[in-house]
């Protein structure tokens, strides 16, 4: 589990996958109480920046073995080349989106659980979660604020923002806001893609197989009658 934030920054390379799970929870709980007395500052985004927001819930969603995240899990490379031993079967929600202006974008996330986020380019395959990975973020020790700031995006490319949890028991509701370009002479456009329902996708595949089988049986019967 996670150590204190001071230790985390001073000894980043120390593996901690075998630490008790209560350590991370206790640290987050203590920081949550302390942060109640801190006044937060809100920075206004440029008026010309395009902004799009969406909310969803990872509860009951498909699961995957997520990639490592920089920081607490001992990974310094971003994107990582290793899978997590904490989130081995964790629910996720994948949102495709496109931008029409190349530049740096902010992706601000808020989760009501111990959330982590992953950004993919072109496609996302949950069975090969390291493929096409652009960046990963774990906001620890700030609970529920996993985000990306100033991430470079290319016009015309499909990106997929995958919201998930730190471990297999971390899931719930969240909101993501994509804004940018951060500095642009004119406003761009951010378009959200369609998220297919897992059940409808499987239903379509099943119907396709069933339909193909029926057609084959009919063809066989017709040949026999002739």
pLDDT of residue 76: 82
Q: For residue range 120-133, what is the model confidence (pLDDT) as tens digits?
A: 999 999 999 999 99
Structural domains in the chain plus CATH codes: 5-195 (2.60.120.380)
What percent of the chain has pLDDT above 90?
53
pLDDT digits (tens, 9 = 90+) for 82-104: 999 999 999 999 999 999 999 99
Please give the C-alpha separations between residue 138 and each of 40, 58, 115, 190, in angstroms, as whole numbers.
20, 16, 7, 24
pLDDT recorded at residue 162: 98
Confidence of residue 75 (pLDDT cuts 50, 70, 90): confident
**Mean pLDDT calculated for residue range 146-159:** 94
Strand partners, 96: 160
pTM value? Answer: 0.69
User: What is the per-residue pLDDT for 203?
Assistant: 40
Instruction: Name beta bridge partners: 118.
Output: 136, 162
- Residues 61-87, mean pLDDT to the nearest whole number: 92
**CA–CA separation, 51 and 178 (whole Å):** 6
Q: How far apart are CA 138 and CA 86, in angstroms?
A: 13
């Amino acid at each position: 589990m996670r150590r204190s934030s001071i230790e985390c920054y001073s000894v980043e390379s120390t593996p901690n996958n075998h630490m008790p799970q209560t350590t991370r929870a206790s640290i987050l709980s203590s920081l949550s109480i302390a942060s109640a007395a801190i006044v937060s500052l809100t920075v206004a985004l440029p008026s010309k920046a395009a902004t799009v927001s969406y909310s969803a819930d990872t509860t009951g969603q498909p699961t995957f073995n997520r990639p490592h995240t920089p920081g607490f899990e001992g990974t310094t490379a971003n994107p990582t080349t290793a899978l997590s031993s904490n989130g081995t079967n964790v629910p996720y929600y994948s949102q495709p989106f496109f931008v029409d202006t190349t530049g740096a974008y902010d992706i601000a996330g808020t989760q009501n659980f111990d959330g982590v986020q992953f950004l993919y380019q072109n496609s996302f395959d949950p069975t090969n979660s390291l493929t096409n990975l652009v960046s990963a973020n774990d906001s620890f020790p700030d609970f529920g604020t996993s985000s990306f700031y100033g991430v470079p995006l290319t016009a015309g490319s499909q990106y997929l923002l995958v919201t998930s949890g730190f471990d297999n028991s971390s899931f719930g509701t969240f909101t993501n806001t994509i804004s940018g370009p951060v500095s642009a002479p004119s406003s761009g456009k951010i378009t959200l893609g369609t998220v297919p329902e897992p059940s409808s996708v499987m239903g379509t595949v099943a119907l396709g197989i069933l339909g193909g089988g029926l057609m084959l049986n009919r063809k066989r019967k017709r040949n026999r009658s002739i």
